[in-house]
Amino acid sequence: MSAKRSPKAVTSPEEKETTTRLLPNGFKACVVSKSSVAVPLPPPEDTSSTVSSSSLADGENERGNWGRQLDFFLSCVGYAVGLGNIWRFPYLCYQSGGGAFLVPYLLFLVVCGMPLFFMEMSFGQFASLGPITIWKICPLFKGLGYGMVIISGIVCIYYNVIIAWTLYYIYHSYDVVWATCDNWWNTADCVKQSSAEFYPQNTSLLTNSSSSNFESVGNNSVVDVDIKTISNATRKTSSEEFWLYNVLHQSAGIDELGEIQWPLALTLFIAWFVVFLCLQKGIKSSGKVVYVSATFPYVVLVCLLIRGVTLPGAWNGIVFYLSPRWELLLSFKVWGDAATQIFYSVGAAWGAVLTMASYNKFSNNVYRDAMLIPIINCATSIFAGFVVFSIIGFMAYETGNSIEEVVSEGPGLAFVVYPEAVSRLPLSPLWAFLFFIMLFAIGLDSQFGMFETAISAFVDEFPTVLQKRKPLFTAVLCFVMFLLGLPCVTEGGMYVLQLMDWYSAAFSLMIISLLELICISWIYGIDRFFMDISLMIKRPPSLWWKLCWCYITPGTIVCLLTFIIINHEAVSYDDYKYPKWSIVCGWMIAMCSIVPIPILAVVQLLKAEGSFKERLISCLQPTEKWGPALEEHRILYKKSLSLVSSRFPQKRELIANQNASTDQRNIDGVCMVQTEDALLTAESCI
């Protein structure tokens, strides 16, 4: 094997005198300088799987890197800022104390959101591997990677259905057909939108609440569906009838799936086709799309805010949004909701942050990115609240109702209330188009992150089969998920979507995050992980992160998991109660991402050799292939093991000096060591 040298070492006269030789079977090479200092080189089995054959000068491994660092940054921002930021947070803020809600919200950002985001981003960047293969750090926990991929895969299926809805509304925004009651889908109970007859007897558009959890994706916040009707149960607004009878063709329950809604099936196919076009070349193609998809929503939000604050009643809505009600902070539920919102919003444990960071260059300033992206995410949520409540205030002014009666969240806000509001504006087709194209862009970015997680995971796990066939594999996976999403566009599709959303990620994300923290902080070792980060950013993280990763964040997740268990209710949608068989199906969906964790742990133990204790220790040790992707960084990593090793040190080969034993051969400064007798000590790395 020919030994490659680090660029930093090229100028050293002593290193220039080093030669390499082809060695007999059973021997491995090490570089020995004239000062008799041995430097370990990666063994052949390492380089075949994780070390790139590209030159060290370009700093890329065979998986590829982001074309520009801004590609990565915008991709992460686009992934983290999801639909929950627009249609969930503003309502949650108003409901949980207005401005006072920002206290627990920002607190949990600091103690839970940022630490998880920083850990996953550092983890992925250091190893340059996908969410399955990266568990070479501790094979016993490989099931966590499969759990991440399964969660992202399930959510991808129904998340693209929401994107399909936005495409359907974009198509119909040219004439704002939901503004009138004289369409084929309208009933005799439709209420016109003129101010005089909008709400007979001053009734409310949104009175009877129904809520269902959209465990948001990638960005990721719990989102409650709140579609409310006027107090007279038989009366509906034209926008609500368009949503129920034109878009959904909603049946009576999940037992009655009915026919596929072919217009929605078409928009779902278009949505998946767009995902394929943007991801067919992986990050090389998606990294360019995000320059538009991640920035355009902010342009639209600014335009909507400027238009919103100029409308009558807008400031009443904004004041209502931020007016603090400090007494609500005494409620345990408010703190639980804040923690849950942050947890899902930053997108940890889905595998997407880890995957996107794995395409970074080793020396990228991961600390800077991990601080900025969660802050931008939360700032976007707060800013979106101003946009939403300026429109809600206008709606209250127009209809003569209080803001409490008009406010909504989830699809009820996005597909009923907001379309109704923009239909009252001059140039309503323009504002409708901008609003829904913004939702499309926001949803697409989150979809990119989750879907790339699934693709990269399997390509990294089976590189010989899939690496050269990645575009084909992407196309096949897109088509399979399109087929799996078809039940969500039937007449009973909303019930199916609600069931998948309710159970897909509620418990499993918490469990995966907790085990991930335990694995890295307590099994791999927090000091060793600190050293890994130091190798990348050239300085150690502060003590605060050690406290968070070892104690504060795990404790917060345990409390949050307890809160969710205590407050968990069986799935429901509006006034509809799901049958028992469907609830059983929901729990099966929930367990899909949990079951691989113990199963893969047992498999790894069975594959190991020795007594049970020896097998367990072997599965807790990093494998020989664990470490950075590029050879120059692997050398630095192996040198650093003399300073800080993992809690269960990985097995390495013995590197001999010029005074090698009789079982070793030293020819012209190149020592050869028999691997059967090899055990690399930490001192030999310096």
Q: Is 186 annotated as a binding residue?
A: no
Q: Is it the case that residue 679 has pLDDT exceeding 50?
A: no
Give whole-number Cα distances, 505 to 150, 158, 224, 513, 660, in Å. Answer: 10, 13, 14, 12, 56
Q: Is it the case that residue 3 has pLDDT exceeding 90?
A: no
The token pair at 262 is 């072919």
Let me know: does 567 contact 333? Beta carbons within 8 Å. yes
- pLDDT for the residue 53: 38
Convert the pLDDT of each residue in 554-569 to its tens digit. 999 999 899 888 888 8
Q: Is it the case that residue 358 has pLDDT exceeding 70?
A: yes
d(CA 566, CA 560) in angstroms, rounded, equals: 10
Convert the pLDDT of each residue in 518-542 to its tens digit. 999 999 999 999 999 999 999 999 9
Residue percentage of the chain with pLDDT more than 90: 58
Out of 341-355, 468-482, 644-658, which region has the weakest mean confidence (pLDDT)? 644-658
Out of 101-115, 166-180, 196-210, 425-439, which region has the weakest mean confidence (pLDDT)? 196-210
Instruction: Reduce the DSSP state of residue 284 to 3 states and report it.
Output: helix
- pLDDT for the residue 677: 34
The token pair at 622 is 């990093």
Q: Is 217 annotated as a binding residue?
A: no
- pLDDT for the residue 236: 81
Q: Is it the case that residue 511 has pLDDT exceeding 60?
A: yes
Convert the pLDDT of each residue in 83-109 to its tens digit. 888 888 988 888 888 889 999 999 999
More confident residue, 64 or 154: 154
Q: Is 128 annotated as a binding residue?
A: no
Instruction: Reduce the DSSP state of residue 87 to 3 states and report it.
Output: helix
Let me know: does 353 contact 124? Beta carbons within 8 Å. yes
pLDDT (mean) for 167-173: 95
- pLDDT for the residue 506: 75
Q: Is 208 annotated as a binding residue?
A: no
Q: Is 666 annotated as a binding residue?
A: no
Q: Is 572 annotated as a binding residue?
A: no
> CB burial class (10 A; 0-12, 13-18, 19+) of residue 504?
buried
User: 40: part of which helix (H) or strand (E)?
Assistant: strand 38-40
Q: Is it the case that residue 61 has pLDDT exceeding 60?
A: yes
Residue percentage of the chain with pLDDT more than 70: 79
pLDDT (mean) for 341-364: 92
Convert the pLDDT of each residue in 596-609 to its tens digit. 999 999 999 999 99
- pLDDT for the residue 408: 67
As a whole number, the mean pLDDT across the chain is: 81
Alpha carbons within 13 A on the beta-carbon side of 142: 20
- 659 pLDDT band, cuts 50/70/90, is very low
User: 74: part of which helix (H) or strand (E)?
Assistant: helix 69-80
Out of 43-47, 118-122, 620-624, which region has the weakest mean confidence (pLDDT)? 43-47
Q: Is it the case that residue 663 has pLDDT exceeding 90?
A: no
Q: Is it the case that residue 77 has pLDDT exceeding 90?
A: yes
d(CA 168, CA 180) in angstroms, rounded, equals: 18
SS3 per-residue string spanning 626-643: CCCCCHHHHHHHHHHCCC
d(CA 530, CA 525) in angstroms, rounded, equals: 9
Out of 65-69, 196-200, 501-505, which region has the weakest mean confidence (pLDDT)? 196-200
Q: Is 255 annotated as a binding residue?
A: no
- pLDDT for the residue 572: 87
Convert the pLDDT of each residue in 184-238 to its tens digit. 999 888 886 544 344 333 333 333 333 333 434 444 433 333 434 333 446 788 8
Out of 49-58, 384-393, 433-442, which region has the weakest mean confidence (pLDDT)? 49-58
Q: Is 446 annotated as a binding residue?
A: yes
Out of 109-123, 399-413, 587-601, which region has the weakest mean confidence (pLDDT)? 399-413
pLDDT (mean) for 303-320: 91
Convert the pLDDT of each residue in 375-430 to its tens digit. 999 999 999 999 989 988 888 888 787 888 777 666 777 898 889 888 888 899 99
More confident residue, 59 or 426: 426
d(CA 622, CA 276) in angstroms, rounded, equals: 35
SS3 per-residue string spanning 640-652: HCCCCCCCCCCCC
- pLDDT for the residue 28: 43
DSSP letter (8 states) at residue 244: I
- pLDDT for the residue 399: 77
Out of 375-384, 449-458, 643-652, which region has the weakest mean confidence (pLDDT)? 643-652
Q: Which residues, in sequence order, are CB contacts of 129 under 8 Å at separation 6+? A: 50, 136, 358, 460, 629
Q: Is it the case that residue 248 has pLDDT exceeding 80?
A: yes
- pLDDT for the residue 467: 87
More confident residue, 363 or 38: 363
For residue 453, which of 343, 350, 595, 374 has the smallest C-alpha distance?
350
> CB burial class (10 A; 0-12, 13-18, 19+) of residue 602?
exposed
Q: Which residues, in sequence order, are CB contacts of 548 under 8 Å at separation 6+? A: 111, 115
The token pair at 389 is 């409540």
